[in-house]
Amino acid sequence: MDEERRGTWFGFGFCGFGQALGSGLGRQVHSPEPLRTPGGSLDVCRVSASWSYTAFVTRGGRVQLSGAAGGTADGCTDAWASEELLVLLRAGPGAGAELQAWAPGSAMRGDPLWSQAVQEAEHGPSRDETQAGLLPLLPCARAYVSPRPPFYRPLAPTLRARRLELGAEHALLLDAAGQVFSWGAGRHGQLGHGTLEAEPEPRLLEALQGLRMAEVAAGGWHSVCLSETGDIYIWGWNESGQLALPTKSLAEDGKTTAEASGLEEDGSEVKRGSAGEDGAPAPFIAVQPFPALLDLSPGSEAVKVSCGSRHTAVLTSEWGKYGQLGHKDTTTLDRPCRVEYFVDKQLQVRTVSCGPWNTYVYAVEKEKS
Amino acid sequence: MPSSRGSSQPRDQTHVSDISRLGRWVLSTSATWEAIYIDIDGLVLYIYIFIYMYIFVCSYTYFPLAPIRLSCLARWRAQHAWETLQALLPHTKEELKLELGEKVEGSVLMLLQEAADLFLGGQRRECLQTCEVLLDYSWEKLNTGPWQDVDKDWRRVYAFGCLLKAVCLCEPPGDATSVAAALKACDMGLLMGAAILGDILLKVAAVLQKHLLSGKRPAPGPSQEPPGTKKARNDHVPIPDVTTERTVPRLHCPSLQYFKKHFLVPGRPVILEGVANHWPCMKKWSLEYIQEVAGCRTVPVEVGSRYTDEEWSQTLMTVNEFISKYIREEPKDIGYLAQHQLFDQIPELKQDISIPDYCCLGDGEEEEITINAWFGPQGTVSPLHQDPQQNFLAQVMGRKYIRLYSPQESEALYPHDTHLLHNTSQVDVENPDLEKFPRFAEAPFLSCVLSPGEVLFIPVKHWHYVRALDLSFSVSFWWS
């Protein structure tokens, strides 16, 4: 692992508010483009994208906003962007850190909407790089931030939270033992407990019990997690194919999973998986309330996953209307598709971070072997 | 029948008898042509006028010269529709503005402003792009949280996007496909959005619908196909033997006080006769009429035998598609246009029904009464369930078998314990699993076959099960 080789951030997808996304021209970027963040080449270590703006956190502790909201702030270790709030973690007065919530339009000038002193993490140095990217989970792992009041939400200490992700109406938590918990609204199966009922408190995902998870990610109405062995489990709403399962909306347009290639030429009568004539049910999945194992191309191991509002990036699927799938067009997909750009340019992707309608990727050049 | 043999005869000897009947009529009514003065010039002029009048007459009846009729007159109508639309819409920024609360973020307000500016500036394509962004974002908000908790402002934003999208789509030159797409956008705004700019979506939809239908003539009078006799896929309609069951009592036009004392207050079901049988819908409504008034409008349809099934789903389609797919042709699935406020979407249909007078016995306002349409083929089933309001169910087309259980029997009906289905029984009424639900067999009930013209009073929280015995159209009134 070559730490000195700095990589570059790329972005693609919706940038209708002018948020830094490659060239930033027009409303959408369909193919990955290197970021040209304002203020020259910044040493960005974390990207947190909301719908109308993106927050970049540099290793030097600077937070830069781009898009409908602007401004910079120093002395920050982490940032988390949402439409309602911009949350910053700053080195506060004294030893501890300070959690600040700003209105995005304030450009971080004046006073924050509210602020709170928080404990540092129990283990690890406070300025460790790995601290960046924990938000909305607070470093002490005893609470998390929500864009809706109450903003500060405590977590039971027994949970030993390692990572926390928020969807449109649910939350996912990964604990130190690699177990996944979920709570919130469940009407689209995003909690993974097999029902459509809501859960008021964190509830363990029994279907994944015993499997050690390394990462979790929450999209608008779907959830993904990655096991330590590189398997991907995915569940929730599949209306745009974000679960990489066949979706009815695409079938009606004749573009769903090809059992045979060359589907588009056929054009007519795409009765997908139908068997419908003799009464066999069409295999469209609208909602997947239990975790399902995602089959990527054999031999590949997923190491990072991130979810947008209706798309998933590991190497994958779904809602492509604003180009956030990076395949040079705006087709929506319900099967995993490799973003060829990075293969063509001999780049190795290190991390991926999705905004609601766009995707940011950090890649380094491959070692010449 | 005179035959025209004009071509085989020398022109200067064409006889009046050889001219077609239509031609003779044309000549006879054409005041400037009194003298049948047949010579070369006259003949040419006659032919010219004949063709002109032929086209004129053909445009108002179904003749094979339709292509000529469509291209000229349709373009004229498209222009006319567009002008009517332009007159409906605001022309200034101040008028094209929505009053929105704090929930709508500044970024969205920016987009709304941008869309309005692009629209007023005539930049159709860019306006459409901005509308798509607005629609996608507000759609996400509409899908976050329970529907009743969705902030009305997001629904207004959605409706606004639909409005501008619809108008941009049908800007001339508009062909039938783009007008249909524009009408669909209006319907989406009506279904999921909230009223804006003085119910403008309803007005735009009415103009677009009229334009789409302008080629067809309304079929006046009674339909060719009397409702309820549509040939069924299979003729085995298990009509329950209601003589062995206790039936719902029937009354002819009871007074308000009598109804209140004996049925409303004690919560007893009753069938009211003579109350709705004179509504215009009873004579007017048929498949043809419905297609004519609402055919191109988009509505939500439930697909699947009942909403408690796993394969049950909801989808959107036009009324024409619904009728052709789930009623006319051999349907593979059951489709049901159920629990839809069709009369808010298509005000013209509302004029064919009335609100039963007995609703005034309630506490609520007339505007708060929810009127739903229930339209589907034979065999649609609503599983045994209860509603939180009083209900008048008026039958318009076809018959329905209905079973009613008192709320006192709720335990014997085994409601689901999930929040989503807590008002629905687990028992399949006409095929109960008595091993799993033993108490169900003993629960007393009332039943009836509701026929066109009759109104069933279902008291609040009274459990009811409904199965359509024929192609059926019912109208329900939920009131308090």
Q: Does residue B226 register a pLDDT over 60?
A: no
- Helical packing angle, B200-213 and B152-169, nearest 10°: 30
The percent of residues in chain A predicted with pLDDT above 90, rounded, is: 13
Least confident of A223-232, B70-79, B245-254, B310-319: B70-79
Calpha distance A104→A112 (Å, rounded)? 10
| Structure confidence at residue A290 (pLDDT) | 86
Q: Does residue A272 register a pLDDT over 60?
A: no
- Looking at the complex, does the CB of residue A147 fall below 8 Å from at least one CB of chain B? no
pLDDT, one tens digit per residue, over A168-196 is 999 999 998 999 999 999 889 999 998 88
Highest mean pLDDT among A53-57, B308-312, B461-465: B461-465
> Nearest by CB to B313, which of A196, A197, A286?
A286
Q: Does residue A215 register a pLDDT over 60?
A: yes
Contact list in B for residue A51 (CB cut-off 8 A) is 107, 137
- Residue A236: pLDDT band by 50, 70, 90 thresholds? very high
- Residue A361: pLDDT band by 50, 70, 90 thresholds? confident
Average pLDDT over residues A139-167: 86
- Residue A321: pLDDT band by 50, 70, 90 thresholds? very low
- Residue B97: pLDDT band by 50, 70, 90 thresholds? confident
> Nearest by CB to A197, which of B143, B311, B418?
B418
Query: What are the strands, taking DSSP E only, across B217-351?
Result: 250-252, 270-273, 298-303, 313-318, 335-340
- For strands B270-273 and B250-252, give the pairing: parallel
- Residue B416: pLDDT band by 50, 70, 90 thresholds? very high
Residue B113 tokens, joined:
């402003």
A51 and B137 within 8 Å at the Cβ level: the answer is: yes
- Residue B1: pLDDT band by 50, 70, 90 thresholds? very low
- Residue A24: pLDDT band by 50, 70, 90 thresholds? very low
> Nearest by CB to B311, which of A17, A221, A281?
A281
Average pLDDT over residues B386-399: 96
> Nearest by CB to B419, which of A17, A197, A286?
A197
pLDDT, one tens digit per residue, over A277-304 is 333 344 677 788 888 887 665 555 666 7
ipTM: 0.79
| Structure confidence at residue A366 (pLDDT) | 66
CA distances from A162 to A59, A176, A222, A229 (A): 21, 5, 20, 18
- Mutation target for B interface from A187, A249, A252: give the one with most B CBs within 10 A: A187
Average pLDDT over residues B197-212: 89
Contact list in A for residue B133 (CB cut-off 8 A) is 14, 16, 27
- For strands A76-81 and A86-91, give the pairing: antiparallel
pTM over 0.80: no
Average pLDDT over residues B350-362: 95
Highest mean pLDDT among A12-26, B18-32, B307-321: B307-321
End-to-end CA distance of chain A: 14
CA nearest neighbour of A144 among A181, A111, A185, A173: A173
Greater confidence (A156 vs A276) lies with A156
Q: How far is A69 from chain B (nearest CA, A)?
A: 9
The percent of residues in chain B predicted with pLDDT above 70, rounded, is: 80
- Looking at the complex, does the CB of residue A102 fall below 8 Å from at least one CB of chain B? no
* Closest residue in chain A to residue B102, using alpha carbons only: A84
| Structure confidence at residue B478 (pLDDT) | 96
- Residue A316: pLDDT band by 50, 70, 90 thresholds? very low
Give the contacts of A304 (CB within 8 A, at least 6 positions apart). Answer: A215, A226, A314, A349, A350, A351, A352
Residue A113 tokens, joined:
């909407």
Rg (CA), chain B: 29
A185 and B137 within 8 Å at the Cβ level: the answer is: no
Residues 226-245 of A with CB under 8 A from B: none
Greater confidence (A334 vs B431) lies with B431
- Residue A94: pLDDT band by 50, 70, 90 thresholds? low
- Residue B43: pLDDT band by 50, 70, 90 thresholds? confident
Averaged pLDDT score across all residues of chain B: 83
Element (H, E) at A361: strand A358-365
